[in-house]
């Protein structure tokens, strides 16, 4: 029991590290591969691996019966196709840390809509944490959004990805929580792969230059981030509220800034550090244990 609880507490930090590494790896890979093609290859690879896992492990497909297949596929399209395609295009226009900062708006929108749509109550402490996290994001994004028109376009595309993540998180919380993890994730990535391939075919002139960097970038983002990270995110979402799960995104921008400094040599500014500290405090407040709701007569 103690080991299980310990793993559950470490899961958000593992997700943050994996998700943050995606921005750095993608930034390197996008120099040699067009963004929609990058996402299509990544999601198709995930779908193939998961289908093979279902077959090799002989997991039953009937868990996706009665329309649950469609619901899981829709959640996957929102979370993985929309949530990845727009930010990857944005990464060709704006720095990775700033794209990550915009994506950390996910918890605020998720919490606000989760209260209305999923009836997930938040304590005053959690609302304060969400607002504090938003302030940490605003420290950097508020200035960066107006530095150039091209950078602003990239940040707008990153916000489109936020909308996909929020919609997918809420949709999953409403329709997919009862589906076993492997069938659920398989349906999600199959739906996302189909949409991303179609988008690449219709919206982009694919560009590729195969190199060790491209192979390593796509492999890392496929296996470690999309398979490992999103499976971890789905597991956290299945065990907790949408608001508390998505609050981990507040830790991503600072982590991306640190990784970009360590791996790519990008300068870590004092403003980035301040934003990281502010957002981390907000995440801690949101992720604190919820107070049990007392019912009348008990």
The tens-digit pLDDT sequence of the chain (298 residues) is: 445 555 566 677 788 888 889 888 998 899 899 999 999 999 999 999 999 999 999 999 988 988 899 999 999 999 999 999 999 999 998 888 778 878 777 766 776 776 777 676 777 877 787 788 778 777 766 666 666 778 888 888 999 999 998 899 889 888 888 888 899 999 999 999 999 999 999 999 999 888 888 999 999 999 888 888 777 776 776 666 555 666 666 777 778 878 877 877 767 667 767 776 777 677 667 665 544 443 334 3
DSSP states along 154-216: HHHHHHHHHHHHHHHHHHHHHHTTTS-HHHHHHHHHHHHHHHHHHHHHHH----B---HHHHH
Q: What integer pLDDT is reported at residue 292 of this predicted model?
A: 44
Nearest partner of 155 among 138, 167, 171, judged by Cα: 138
Q: What integer pLDDT is reported at residue 52 of this predicted model?
A: 96
Q: What integer pLDDT is reported at residue 241 of this predicted model?
A: 56
Question: For the chain, what are the domain ranges?
Answer: 6-286
Q: What integer pLDDT is reported at residue 179 of this predicted model?
A: 87
Q: What integer pLDDT is reported at residue 113 of this predicted model?
A: 74
**How far is the C-alpha of 1 from the C-alpha of 281, rounded, in Å?**
28
Q: What integer pLDDT is reported at residue 56 of this predicted model?
A: 95
Q: In whole angstroms, how far apart are CA 226 and each of 19, 43, 80, 239, 277?
A: 8, 8, 8, 19, 27
Residue 210, phi-psi category: left (phi > 0), alpha (psi -120 to 50), beta (remainder):
beta
Length of the chain: 298
């Amino acid at each position: 029991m103690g080991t299980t609880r310990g793993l559950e507490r470490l899961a958000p930090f593992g997700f943050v590290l994996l998700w943050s590494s995606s921005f750095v790896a993608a930034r390197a890979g996008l120099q040699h591969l067009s963004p929609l093609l990058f996402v299509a290859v990544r999601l198709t690879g995930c779908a193939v691996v998961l289908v093979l896992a279902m077959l090799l492990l002989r997991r039953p497909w009937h868990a996706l019966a009665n329309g649950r297949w469609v619901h899981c596929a829709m959640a996957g399209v929102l979370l993985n196709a929309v949530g990845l395609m727009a930010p990857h295009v944005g990464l060709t226009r704006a720095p990775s840390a700033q794209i990550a900062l915009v994506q950390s708006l996910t918890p605020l929108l998720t919490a606000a809509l989760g209260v209305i749509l999923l009836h997930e109550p938040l304590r005053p402490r959690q609302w304060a944490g969400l607002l504090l996290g938003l302030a940490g994001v605003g420290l950097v994004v508020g200035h960066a959004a107006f530095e150039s028109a091209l950078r602003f376009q990239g940040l707008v595309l990153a916000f489109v990805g936020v909308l996909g993540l929020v919609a997918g998180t809420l949709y999953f919380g409403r329709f997919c929580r009862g589906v076993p993890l492997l069938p659920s994730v398989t349906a999600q990535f199959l739906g996302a792969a189909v949409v991303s391939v179609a988008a690449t075919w219709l919206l982009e002139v694919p560009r590729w230059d195969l190199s060790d960097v491209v192979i390593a970038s796509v492999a890392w983002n496929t296996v470690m981030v999309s398979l490992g990270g999103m499976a971890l995110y789905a597991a956290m979402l299945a065990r907790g509220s949408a608001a508390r799960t998505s609050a981990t995104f507040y830790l991503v921008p600072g982590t991306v800034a640190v990784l970009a400094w360590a791996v790519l040599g990008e300068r870590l500014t004092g403003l980035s550090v301040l934003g990281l500290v502010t957002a981390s405090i907000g995440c801690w407040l949101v992720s604190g244990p919820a107070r049990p709701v007392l019912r009348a007569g008990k």
